A and B are shown apart, each in its own frame.
Chain A
Amino acid sequence: MVYLDHAATTPMLAQAVEAMTAELGQVGNASSLHSSGRRARRIVEESRETIAAALGTRPSEVVFTSGGTEADNLAIKGLYWSRHRADSRRRRVLISAIEHHAVLDPAAWLGESAGAEVTLLDVDQHGRLDPETLRAAIGDDPGGIALISVMWANNEVGTVQPIPELAEIAAGYGIPLHTDAVQAVGKLPISLSGGVDALTVSGHKLGGPLGVGALLLARGVADPVPVLHGGGQERDVRSGTLDTPAIAGFAAAVRFAVEHREATAARLTALRDDLVARVRQAVPDVILNGHPGDRLPGNAHFSFPGCEGDALLMLLDAKGVECSTGSACSAGVAQPSHVLLAMGADAVRARGSLRFSLGHTSTAADVDELVRVIPGVVERARRAGVG
């Protein structure tokens, strides 16, 4: 099997498996006062410290969640609610047009049911948000803005956003900026600094377990109103008994991924560049989507003219090559990707696209195999056409 879908989820690192399995047989609720509880709490707090250290923040700024989706929801809804509660003029939510649905949909929901006014910030043909676009959207009414959210790197086309510049603009107006860094941690130098107020991390995208993540919340930002109410375990911002084994595995993965980031990025960039060059050779009219240089190391995203992404994916799957069309499903029916449409692609080009994403277990042999099968697959898909 050739697994080229690491952006969907990547295998757990050995360090994470070890840290997690060591905890699976243990008893203890991190909120309990007895010694089993204390033992569990120690694991949780050490994990929190590990993650804080790796991401340039303080332990108290790490809020564990059930993953990226929950962290994004907490950031978007929670910060909107708390900022709006503090000043009812704050109704506007500015997000980029290419956010993951975990940001897009909570924002849309706020628009539909909480009176928020959501602005989708346009991106250029490479999927990049120009800081001036943000400045213009803030306009002359910064006091009416509840929050800004722009992802660090896009999950589909891999384009990296100019987060430091955007954060500086937001900070200049005192508007909190959230960034979904799910795809970026362990691949790019990430930290909660320079005006970034909230940052989403997910375990399973960086070699940790599924179902765990964190929202980093900079000190000084008003606490978000909780999405999950209950025991108040995470400083009353998030409730639910903490998943000690998952958190232990998550922390081990973050530490390893961040420590080895440069070497991993260099290796994946070289492998990815090779993949892009050879796919181009094999299929000369292929279009590389996303920013030509400023993109995630392991990401290659193409449109194949005259083909449907679904057909390509099925044919590649039959040949043992696993990848993704990258587009969201609505009731199982593939919709043209909102990311590609926002980049100015037409629906046909958007539907004819595939994402190959490399990760820590990827090898040159994976690329060789893809390059070997892709010409035949594209030819077949072309015969089936775009329906």
Chain B
Amino acid sequence: MTLRVLAAMSGGVDSAVAAARIAEAGHDVTGVHLALSKNPQSYRTGARGCCTVEDSRDARRAADVIGIPFYIWDMAERFHHDVVEDFVSEYAAGRTPNPCLRCNEKIKFEAVLDRALALGFDAVATGHYARVTADGTLSRAVDPVKDQSYVLGVLTREQLGRAMFPLGDTPKAAVREEAARRGLFVADKPDSHDVCFIADGDTRGFLRERLGPAAGPIVDSTGEVIGSHDGAYAYTVGQRKGLGVGRTPDGRPRYVLSIEPVSNTVTVGSREMLEVTEITAERPIWSGLRVPPATPITCGVQLRAHGEAYGCRVVLDGGRIRIALDRSASGVAAGQAAVFYDGDVVLGSATISAAT
């Protein structure tokens, strides 16, 4: 069956090859580049981000090579509200957000998907490395290094039902080769990594500019004040460098254990204290199960992008979820997603609120 597919094209290799593959499969494909900033110069320049003028030109050139129509959709306001402001307020609340995941959830598979469906498209395709199985569940990509199922783990079953990830069955190296073979000049572009809306890569500076200075104490796990900070938002759980606490009472390094926004306190402790086995998470989405699990389940869980998977037991507790890990994990930050796996298949996800 021929589908009308909207291919989101960032200007990078992956989304270009993804669009080319769907077009070649006989679908009716339209390329769309998402303009995420009113002022593209303020976002990352060069071939790294997802929002520069150069990227939009690259995306258009790729669409021309593939031979599909191409448009630019202005998603700047939505992006600013749902991703950038969310990013800032999450940090302000002492949590560590994942903006890429948020962008998939709110922009690509909500704002863009909704508009696409209204305009008569059947699906949205992206260059993510992940697979949607025949029964409509999300699964890891065959290339374990590139696998992006974690940042898609927040999608609902309905969203996945309208998603196409044509690269999930291919290793990255093969995608680059294919791009070159198809004459997609973007073949050599480096991958994007950093937060695309922070132009100079300085997350702390970005947050300081928006949240202003807010001095507070750095407290050792014993309760002793051993330093000060000028904005708790500049710290992430697990962080060691740049704490500025000088020589600690026992002479051993300290790591950020928690960030408490109300008292504006950053609590630090030894490396061992970072290790957690009990995690609480909220707002579960069970895309891989027909109904939310009634009884505790045993499965795998991934706690950050490109992080390792842990065995765990998951208990539903009202709207909350309690995750008991088989072995300890370190640097688990509130605000990150816990994505549950059964083998390669994503069962669902939830947002981490606490860990001990």
Contacts and interface: CB of A to CB of B under 8 A. Distances in A.
Contact of B53 (A311, A318, A332, A387): A332
A381 interface: yes
Given A318-B30, A331-B40, A310 B119 contact: no
Nearest to B28: A318
A334 B74 CA distance: 8
Contacts of B60: 332
Given A317-B69, A332-B33, A380 B119 contact: yes
Contacts, number: 46
B115 A310 contact: no
Interface string A312-334: 00110110000000000101111
A1 B184 CA distance: 27
Interface string A353-387: 00000000000000000000000000011011101
B119 A384 contact: yes
B38 A333 contact: yes
B40 A310 contact: no
A40 to B, nearest CB: 36
B115 A314 contact: no
Interface string A122-148: 000000000000000000000000000
Contacts of B72: 329, 332-334
Interface string A290-316: 000000000000000000001100110
B38 A381 contact: no
Interface residues of A, number: 17
A383 B35 contact: no
Contacts of B33: 332
Nearest to B75: A387
Interface in B58-72: 60, 69, 71-72
A81 to B, nearest CB: 29
A315 B40 CA distance: 27
A381 B115 contact: no
Nearest to A313: B71
B111 interface: yes
A329 B38 CA distance: 12
B163 to A, nearest CB: 19
Contacts of B73: 310
Interface residues of B, number: 20
Contact of A314 (B30, B38, B74, B111): B30
A333 B119 contact: no
A387 B56 CA distance: 20
A383 B119 CA distance: 7
B78 interface: yes
B173 interface: no
Contact of A383 (B56, B71, B78, B118): B118
Contact of B35 (A315, A318, A332, A384): A332
Interface in B90-134: 111, 115, 118-120
B199 interface: no
A386 to B, nearest CB: 11
A341 B71 CA distance: 24
B76 interface: yes
Contact of B69 (A318, A329, A332): A318
Contacts of A385: 118
Given A331-B56, A383-B118, A385-B118, A310 B71 contact: yes
A387 B111 contact: yes
B74 A331 contact: no
A383 B30 CA distance: 19
Given A315-B119, A381-B119, A387-B115, A331 B71 contact: no
Nearest to B78: A387
Residue picked from A315, A317, A385, A387, most chain B C-beta under 10 Å: A387
B162 to A, nearest CB: 15
Contact of A315 (B56, B76, B78, B120): B120
A380 B118 contact: yes
A184 B217 CA distance: 71
Contacts of B71: 310, 314
A384 B53 contact: no
Interface in B23-82: 30, 33, 35, 38, 40, 53, 56, 60, 69, 71-74, 76, 78
Residue picked from B53, B115, B119, most chain A C-beta under 10 Å: B119
Contacts of A318: 30, 69
A314 B69 contact: yes
A318 B119 CA distance: 11
Given A333-B38, A334-B74, A314 B53 contact: no
A153 B94 CA distance: 58
B53 A380 contact: no
A371 B40 CA distance: 38
B74 to A, nearest CB: 5
6 contacts: A311-B119, A329-B72, A333-B38, A333-B76, A380-B119, A380-B120
Q: Which 4 A-B pairs have the closest CB atoms?
A: A384-B118, A332-B72, A383-B118, A333-B35
